Amino acid sequence: MAELYPWQVPLWQQLAGRRQHAHAYLLQGPAGIGKRILAESLMAHLLCSARSGLDACGQCKSCQLLAAGTHPDSFVLEPEEADKPIKIDQVRELVDFVVQTAQLGGRKVVLLEPAEAMNLNAANALLKSLEEPSGDTVLLLISHQPSRLLPTIRSRCVQQSCPLPGEEQSLSWLAQTLPELSEEGRTELLTLASGSPLAAQRLHEQGVREQRAQVVDGVKKLLKQQVAPSQLAESWNALPLNLLFDWFCEWAQLILRYQLTHDESGLGLTDMRKVVQYLADKTPQPRVLAIQEWLLGQRQKVLGKANLNRVLLLEALLVQWASLPGPG
């Protein structure tokens, strides 16, 4: 079984150490901090028949079946395709599972992730299982965005917040995980991942720092008119659109903030500080507000996976960005 992350140990002791278990838990917190591993560990803990201490033994029949993915009393429910909704038929299967008797004579455990992927019908179907819990079943719900859940779902679970680990703890974990990076590189990565250490690791695997360097270099050339918007848009063909929009949204926000505060400590990562400062000095504020509004609108479409012509979209972005500085 995968090991817990160091920042989860206190939470684990609190959860697994409970004298009596609730019928349903809601593990909630930002993505990229290991909620799934916590839930899987709890599932193993609840199913193990030879536990000593908090951790599952790893040896008993239950542990072996779970490791093989064939435990008859465990049920994992997630979208059939990533980022797609959980279907009502899937929840109906779960409801059937909950009313059955445990085949190994112990508990039954359900893991559902992410809970916000249930639409209203699916959520209502699940509510029945939450309202009339079957004695030996524990439901583990994971949510990255608990505000999107029905209040009735939330209120029927023991809500367990899983906060972001502190920066120091995240950096020390990253130092062990990515020793090949410099300390500055790891700090930058963690900032790019909004403080989430696992997201930072994933971004690193995707080559995010190289991608960022490519984008920053392109933006600088664009402002010096060394490259045309259309050319730059083409050259960014392999870059993830959501990252690009995240970065441009952030830069627009930093420009505005600097215009309002002139606080040099609020200029963001070093790679764009001078550019942000330059654009803040040269761009009339209404123009920054306009591009920010446009960026936020487009970002919603990107996140919603709307069918977009990415080269045209990027070109539109870059044409506007290139014309930021100048007289109002």
Distance CA 163, CA 263 (A): 29
Query: Which residue type sits at 281?
Result: D
Q: Is 302 in the site for Zn ion (CB under 5 A)?
A: no
- In sequence order, the β-bridge partners of residue 76 are 111
The count of residues interacting with Zn ion (CB under 5 A) is 6
Q: Is 109 in the site for Zn ion (CB under 5 A)?
A: no
Stretch that binds Zn ion, among 62-70, 126-134, 232-240, 315-323 (CB under 5 A): 62-70
Distance CA 264, CA 281 (A): 13
Residue closer to Zn ion by CB (options 27, 46) is 46
Q: Is 164 in the site for Zn ion (CB under 5 A)?
A: no
**Contact by Cβ (8 Å): 141, 130:** no
**Contact by Cβ (8 Å): 54, 12:** yes
Which of 1, 22, 60, 104 contacts Zn ion by CB under 5 A?
Answer: 60
Residues 20-49 contacting Zn ion, CB under 5 A: 48
Q: Is 1 in the site for Zn ion (CB under 5 A)?
A: no
Q: Is 57 in the site for Zn ion (CB under 5 A)?
A: yes
Residue closer to Zn ion by CB (options 56, 291) is 56
The residue among 46, 38, 58 whose CA lies nearest residue 107 is 46
CB of residue 265 vs Zn ion: minimum separation in angstroms? 52
Residue closer to Zn ion by CB (options 21, 87) is 21
Stretch that binds Zn ion, among 59-67, 80-88, 158-166, 273-281 (CB under 5 A): 59-67
Residue closer to Zn ion by CB (options 60, 216) is 60
SS3 content of the chain, % helix, strand, coil (to 5): 60, 10, 35
- Listed in sequence order, the residues at least 6 apart from 138 whose beta carbon sits closer than 8 Å to its beta carbon are 21, 22, 23, 24, 25, 46, 107, 108, 109, 110
CB of residue 103 vs Zn ion: minimum separation in angstroms? 16
CB of residue 151 vs Zn ion: minimum separation in angstroms? 37
The residue among 213, 290, 219 whose CA lies nearest residue 248 is 219
CB of residue 1 vs Zn ion: minimum separation in angstroms? 10
Residue closer to Zn ion by CB (options 53, 304) is 53
Structure tokens at 161: 């917040």
Structure tokens at 218: 């392109």
CB of residue 221 vs Zn ion: minimum separation in angstroms? 59
Residue closer to Zn ion by CB (options 50, 289) is 50
Structure tokens at 17: 């150490």
Positive/negative CA dihedral, 190, 192, 196, 201: negative
Three-state DSSP class for residue 109: strand
CB of residue 58 vs Zn ion: minimum separation in angstroms? 6
Q: What is the contact surface with Zn ion in residues (CB under 5 A)?
A: 48, 50, 56-57, 60, 63
